[in-house]
Chains A and B, each alone.
Chain A
Amino acid sequence: MTCTEFLAKMTDYFDGTAVEPLLTEIRTHMAECSHCEVTVNTTQQTIHIYRNQEIYAYELPETLRDKMRAAIMEKCRCSKPPRR
């Protein structure tokens, strides 16, 4: 497996959709290629950091949520009601 072929399969590896014999080929390549091993590890860290941090960074304050929900409901009442 070349590095280009490895990169093409990296999404399947991350998402757990890579199955044998591909999985063994991926693991073998990672054991032999330090560049690809670092790429995998740091890409996993990238995903982890964003998932961890961004969920909280863009949190809406409760008061703003209440205000927005009230505004949405008001607009809904003024617009056409849902029809079946």
Chain B
Amino acid sequence: MAAIQSTATEEIHPDVALVERAKGGDEAAFEQLIRQYDRQIFRIARHITQNKEDAEDIVQDTFLKAYQKLHQFQGNSKFYTWLVRIAVNESLMRLRKRRNSKTVSMDEDVQTEEGSVPRDFADWTPDPEQQYGQGELGEILRKTIAGLPPGFRSVFTLRDVENLSTEETAEALGLSVPAVKSRLLRARLQLRERLSKYMKVKDGVSK
């Protein structure tokens, strides 16, 4: 019996105790949760909105909303995944406001096949990251990912940059696992196609 209890205890995520303490009014516990996840939430918001000031606001709005809705968190998912879902919704809402349109959603533009069918088959230089200076490479990456529809950008950011599992990505975005896989494939292929013109071997010689 003791062994069973010990195993069960080991499986509980450390966030659960922090959330429980925060629910009970322990401010230090909630502050600890902010410390653990503010950087990730900022990066996700920055990727989706492509705007630094918006991303800073979204970090604050996400944690405030999480605090206010903490009693609704039942622990069926990881606290982080729950937090990411709030952040993604806040980010899409910002985009909608900025464009003064109701059309920004996870489904926007995702029907497009443009760039999803590989056309550029030139091989890349062996070490493409060394081709450019840090600032120049950063600019190329930002410009390239900014060209993706928000729905694709969100899936790629969560799965490939932040390293969430496919299931966690699906949960955070409110999508099915097959939908995540399909969007992820198209996002990866579109990014690859767009990056190719910067990274490929030119006339058989590395830059």
Do A and B pair up? The answer is yes
Give A residues with C-beta under 8 Å from B.
7-8, 10-12, 14-15, 34-35, 38-39, 41-43, 45-47, 49-55, 57-60, 64-65, 68-69, 71-73, 75-77, 79-84
Identify which of B27, B64, B124, B141 contacts A50 (C-beta below 8 A): B141
Are A69 and B38 neighbours in the complex by a CB distance under 8 Å? yes
Q: Is the interface of B mostly helix, strand, loop or mixed?
A: helix
B18 near A: Cβ within 8 Å?
A: no
Q: How far is the CB of B79 from chain A (nearest CB, A)?
A: 13
B195 near A: Cβ within 8 Å?
A: yes
Q: Would A38 and B64 be within 8 Å (CB), given that A43-B192, A47-B188 are in contact?
A: no
Task: Please provide the chain B residues from 11 to 38 with a CB less than 8 Å away from any CB of chain A in the complex.
Answer: 22-25, 27, 30-31, 34-35, 38
Q: B residues within 8 A CB of A34?
A: 121
Residue of B nearest to A52 (CB): B129
Identify which of A11, A71, A84 contacts B23 (C-beta below 8 A): A84
Give B residues with C-beta under 8 Å from A.
22-25, 27, 30-31, 34-35, 38-39, 42-43, 46-47, 55-56, 59-60, 63-64, 67-68, 70-71, 118, 121-124, 128-129, 137-138, 141-142, 145, 156, 160-161, 163, 166, 181, 184-185, 188-189, 191-192, 195-196, 199
Complex Cα distance, B116 from A10, in Å, reads: 13
Complex Cα distance, B197 from A46, in Å, reads: 12
Are B67 and A49 neighbours in the complex by a CB distance under 8 Å? no
Q: B residues within 8 A CB of A8?
A: 185
Are A42 and B185 neighbours in the complex by a CB distance under 8 Å? no
Q: How far is the CB of B111 from chain A (nearest CB, A)?
A: 17
Identify which of B31, B67, B118, B192 contacts A79 (C-beta below 8 A): B67
Identify which of B24, B163, B184 contacts A51 (C-beta below 8 A): B163
Complex Cα distance, B145 from A46, in Å, reads: 11
Q: A residues within 8 A CB of B63?
A: 72, 76
Complex Cα distance, B56 from A65, in Å, reads: 9
Identify which of B67, B129, B181 contacts A76 (C-beta below 8 A): B67
Are B123 and A10 neighbours in the complex by a CB distance under 8 Å? no
